[in-house]
Structures are given as structure tokens and as C-alpha cells.
Structure 1
Amino acid sequence: MPGLDIKYWGERILFKIIGQVGKGLKVDRATASRERLLYARVLIEIQIGQEFVVTITFQNENGKVMEQRVEYEWKPLVCTKCKGFGHVGADYRKGGKQQWDAKKANEGQ
């Protein structure tokens, strides 16, 4: 969460804020120790098929509504055809889902 005020960098507060996106699992060591002040980094768990939210809002201690940008370091590949993970629809061959065959012991020798 780039630009998040450092006063919100406590684990409980971060998990409460990021709760709009998913379940907070872990706060980055640099975030917890406030070593890198450009952004707060949190590991989150989200539901399969859930959209990746880019902006969240929360109410600060004074009742003011704050808007926070959310960036993702990594997003899984999600297939638009079968909704499976690790591949995209373009990876399909004619006739269905791409199949991986075990390599035979004598192949390539």
C-alpha cells in the first residue's frame, strides 16, 4: 500500500484496513520494523475468483474517509475459460485443455 501514513503500520490496523481485500496473514518484516517508509507490505489471502481491488477506503481516527491505493506484487494466472490457476485461455489447444504427459525414460537419449 504505497503512501500509507506510517501511523497505520501496526499489524492490527493494517489487517483491519486490508480486510476489505482479503484476510491479512503476515506483515512484511521491513513494514513491521518501519525500515522502508515508501509503502506498507502485507501478505493477504483472497477468495478464488475475487477481483483484485485497486483502491480501498477507510475511516481514520477523526472520522475522515481515507482512500488508499493497493498494488499487488504477484497475481496468479487465472484461466478465463476454465477458471483454473496456472494457465490462461490462450494455452488451450484445439479440442480442450492442454495436457501434460510424463516424459518417457528413454526419450531424448
Structure 2
Amino acid sequence: MVGVWSPAIAISPPDLSAIPLWVDLTNVPGYLYSKKGLSFLLRTAGKFVKLHPHTERCIRMDVARALVEVDLTKPLPNKISFKDKQGSDVMVSISYPWLPPWCASCAKWGHIEKDCLVLRSTVPKSPED
């Protein structure tokens, strides 16, 4: 994300509640390895945007990659479980090759704990400051 910098923006970082991310699916059944099938599966992760060119051209069949707008205010799923037409259990794994930094102190995306403004504002200042 690139934008014009200003002191006000530095104080209040941009909203990272929903961002587009590449999502990898493994163990996708052959009958779902299509734009329609993959976009159906990816609804659990977020709003489908597009397939990666390698997935679209079926260059890598071991991993299906797609760009998905994920809602970072909700837990990111790591598995999709469903029953196929024969009633067998199918488990598709979801992974995220890259995620933005996440702060364990304030539970927000976009920074790490050592850079957390919330944590800094709650830490009492020492007498030397």
C-alpha cells in the first residue's frame, strides 16, 4: 500500500480490515479445479477476485492460487471440509503465502508489537523521561 505521507496518517494508520491476498489451496479435487469450482471453495476465505495465471493455465496442479479479498476482522480459515457427491469427506487446506504484520498487544494488523502505538500509550513513562 502506497500513499501520500502526512503526520496525521502516521498517527492513524490506514484501515486494514479487508485486503486482497494470494491464497493457496491444496488437495483440491479435480472436479473443482476450475474458476467456478475454486471461487466456490474460496468463499470461505473471502471475496474471490481472480485466479493466479499458473492456476488458470493449469501449470501447477498441486496448488491452486487465487487472489481473494479477505476480511481480517474474522479468523482466517486454514481448512475447508465438505462431503462430495458420494458422501465422502473432503478436506482442502488453505494457506496464505504472505500476511501483513499482526500485533499481539492490540490484536490489529499492519504493525508488530514493538511498533504498537496502543502499547506505547499505556506504558508508564520513567522518571528520567
Q: Is TM > 0.5 for Structure 1 vs Structure 2? A: yes
Q: Percent identity?
A: 22
Distance 1:31 1:95, change over 3 A: closer
The residue type paired with residue 9 of structure 1 is Y
- Any gaps of 5 or more consecutive residues in structure 1? 98-109
Structure 2 residue aligned with 1:14:
38
**Which structure has the highest strand share of the two?**
2
CA-based RMSD of the aligned residues comes to 2.3
- Distance, in Å, in 1 between the alignment partners of 2:37 and 2:120 is 50
Give the TM-score taking structure 2 as reference length.
0.63
* Amino acid in the other structure paired with 1:96: S
Q: Tell me how far apart the structure 1 counterparts of residues 49 and 85 of structure 2 sit (CA, whole Å).
A: 24
Does the 8 Å CA contact 1:28/1:42 hold for their aligned counterparts?
yes
Compare relative contact order (CA 8 Å, sep 6+) and give the higher one, 1 or 2: 2
Shift of 1:84: 4.1
Match of 2:29 in 1: 5
**Within 2, Cα distance between the matches of 1:83 and 1:91?**
13
1:77 maps onto 2:98 in alignment:
no
Answer with 34-43 or 55-64: which moved more.
Answer: 55-64
Structure 2: how far apart are the matches of 1:95 and 1:82? Answer: 11
CA contact (8 A) 1:9 1:32 kept: no
Deviation at 1:89, TM superposition (A): 2.0
* Counterpart residue number, 1:105: none
**Which structure has more helix as a fraction of its residues?**
2
TM-score by length of 1: 0.73
How many angstroms apart in 2 are the aligned matches of 1:95 and 1:28? 40
Q: Counterpart of 1:96?
A: 121
Q: Cα distance, 1:63 vs. partner?
A: 3.9
User: Post-superposition shift, 1:68?
Assistant: 0.9
Deviations 1:41-86 (A, max 9, x none): 1111111322121111133233433111111111111333444432
State which drifts further: 73-82 or 50-59.
Answer: 73-82
2:121 aligned partner, one-letter code: G
